Amino acid sequence: MKFKNAIKDLFFKNNDRFFLKSKSPFAPKHYKDLYPQGFKIYTFNAGFKKKNDDLLIIVFDNIVNVASKYSLTAMPSAPIIWDKKNNKGKCRALIVNSGNANAYTGLSGLKNIDKYTKKLAEYLSCSKKEILVSSTGVIGEQLNPNLICRKISKQFFSNNKMLVDAARSIWTTDTFVKTAIYNIKILNKNIKIYGFAKGSGMISPNMGTMLAYIFIDCEINRTELKKLLTNNIEETFNSISVDSDTSTSDTLMLFSNPLNKIKLNNKNYNKISKTLNKVMKDLSFKIISDGEGVKKLIKVNVKKAKSKSQAKKIAFSVSNSPLVKTAIAGEDANWGRVVMAIGKTKEKILQNKITIKFGNLLLAKNGERNSKVNLSKIDNYMKKNLIEIEINLNLGNESSVVYGNDLNKEYIKINADYRS
């Protein structure tokens, strides 16, 4: 099966292949980039793909603190199992490959990781437990560790790359680079918080929703790093969904790159947390904006719920509904499908209290359709790239905002022939 917009870019030993789609309409015109200090970025074409870089190795100048969040899937990949078992919050190097997820590969998958982490540990004179790993790509294929091992030598570690290069090297069906760089000043010290991510399909919140790596250029202990992640993940990476499918490989890592030493009092912590939140929002929004086949984004804002969990459950029910997503793809303001999606959560709500808006247009209130709404205004609104759905439950004071996207023919094309 061949598709008009498919690019045969990634080839595998069993003729497995990815199809990269045409670039997302939400792709940024410019990418933020930098040469990091405190660590070096190396990217290679190791052979997981026919062309383009597919291997990333980051080597820190010294051992750094790290905190991680992983997918809550019951079918975690070998890298997640390996990281959780071996790493204790200290990192000397990070290895990420794209093209092979090393998931559902049994004991062999773990042994393969042991082989290439041991090779890098020997090269760096560190413990293999100080090396973190991630993989993304096709599930169920054994990863050839020799593809990574043969790149671990002095001749390959001579060309330091930039942040954008790191982001490109871990692509699968992504169509644009996802980087974010923010600066803050604390005690006359300029501190950068920055990162990169990949993600396009199989995106649903259960923690990390993709692969993302974020760096803070100051010394922070692991306990505080974990706190920073936990405090900022819910309204960022845990508030997006492309297709409601949770990956086997979702990983988010936050590194303390100790270029600066500051006193982490409440004021300074809050400054760092606020800026980290911007980085995480930026990266997570870029992921949802690059959803497979995306043409329109959906923002669902549930207001005045009894609890945060109720608000988020209803918001995701709406944004993940295939009927809602296809209606938006077809520019049809079918608010009845929103009603359906609210109801299927089985949350305790009162129909006659709910109001539903598309943009600032009130479509339903008091348990029935708003007969006074201007239909031509609705038709014009549905042509927008970002469709905002507001649901007011009028039950309490909690709210939740989540982002999703439309479901169209392009998504089906990409995933019908993801590997063949």
Domain span at 142: 7-289
Q: What is the pLDDT at residue 54?
A: 96
Q: How many CB atoms lie within 10 A of CB 70?
A: 21
Q: What is the pLDDT at residue 247?
A: 59
DSSP state of 44: E
Q: What is the pLDDT at residue 162?
A: 97
Do 258 and 304 share a structural domain? no
Inside any domain, residue 252: yes
Inside any domain, residue 1: no
Helix (H) or strand (E) holding 184: strand 178-186
- Say whether 94 sits in a helix, a strand or coil: strand
Inside any domain, residue 125: yes
Inside any domain, residue 2: no
Inside any domain, residue 402: yes
Among candidate residues 209, 248, 251, 275, the one labeled active-site is: 209
- Say whether 25 sits in a helix, a strand or coil: coil
Q: What is the pLDDT at residue 409?
A: 81
Do 406 and 323 share a structural domain? yes
Q: Single out the residue in 270, 289, 308 at which a domain terminates.
A: 289
Q: Single out the residue in 289, 322, 351 at which a domain terminates.
A: 289
Q: What is the pLDDT at residue 200?
A: 62
Per-residue pLDDT of the chain (420 residues; tens, 9 = 90+): 333 333 333 333 332 334 444 578 888 888 899 999 999 999 999 999 988 999 999 999 999 999 999 988 888 999 999 999 999 999 999 999 999 999 999 999 999 999 999 999 999 999 999 999 999 988 899 999 999 999 998 888 888 999 999 999 999 878 899 999 999 999 899 999 999 999 864 444 433 347 999 999 999 999 999 999 999 999 998 888 865 556 567 899 999 999 999 999 999 999 999 999 999 999 999 998 987 778 999 999 999 999 999 999 999 999 999 999 999 999 999 999 999 999 999 999 999 999 999 999 999 999 999 999 999 999 999 999 999 999 999 999 999 999 999 988 877 776 666 554
Helix (H) or strand (E) holding 84: helix 78-86
Do 248 and 134 share a structural domain? yes
**R_g (Cα) of the chain, nearest Å:** 22
Do 281 and 198 share a structural domain? yes
Inside any domain, residue 273: yes
Total domain count, the chain: 2
Q: Cα torsion at 403, 409, 415, 417 (round to 10°)?
A: -160
Inside any domain, residue 222: yes
Compute the Cα dihedral for 133, 418, 45, 150 and give only its sign.
positive
Q: Single out the residue in 289, 306, 322 at which a domain terminates.
A: 289
Q: What is the pLDDT at residue 67?
A: 97
Do 224 and 123 share a structural domain? yes
Name 417's Cβ contacts closer than 8 Å, sequence gap at least 6.
1, 2, 3, 6, 19
Do 279 and 306 share a structural domain? no
Inside any domain, residue 148: yes
259: domain CATH number is 3.60.70.12
Q: How many CB atoms lie within 10 A of CB 317?
A: 23
* Residue 190 CA to its chain's centroid (Å): 27
Instruction: Categorise residue 286: left if φ over 0, alpha if ψ from -120 to 50, beta otherwise.
Output: alpha
Closest CA to 161 of 40, 38, 32, 37: 40
* Residue 274 CA to its chain's centroid (Å): 19
Do 216 and 73 share a structural domain? yes
353: domain CATH number is 3.10.20.340
Do 240 and 145 share a structural domain? yes
Do 383 and 326 share a structural domain? yes
- In the chain, DSSP finds a helix count (H) and a strand count (E) of 11, 16
Residue type at 176?
F
Do 50 and 133 share a structural domain? yes
How far apart are alpha carbons 420 and 416 in whole angstroms? Answer: 9
Q: Annotated catalytic, 209?
A: yes
DSSP H helices in 125-185:
146-149, 163-169
Do 69 and 148 share a structural domain? yes
- Residue 196 has phi, psi (to 5 degrees) of -145, 160
- Say whether 392 sits in a helix, a strand or coil: strand
How far apart are alpha carbons 269 and 296 in whole angstroms? Answer: 36
How far apart are alpha carbons 96 and 310 in whole angstroms? Answer: 36
Closest CA to 195 of 224, 222, 232: 232
pTM of the entire predicted model:
0.88
Do 354 and 303 share a structural domain? yes
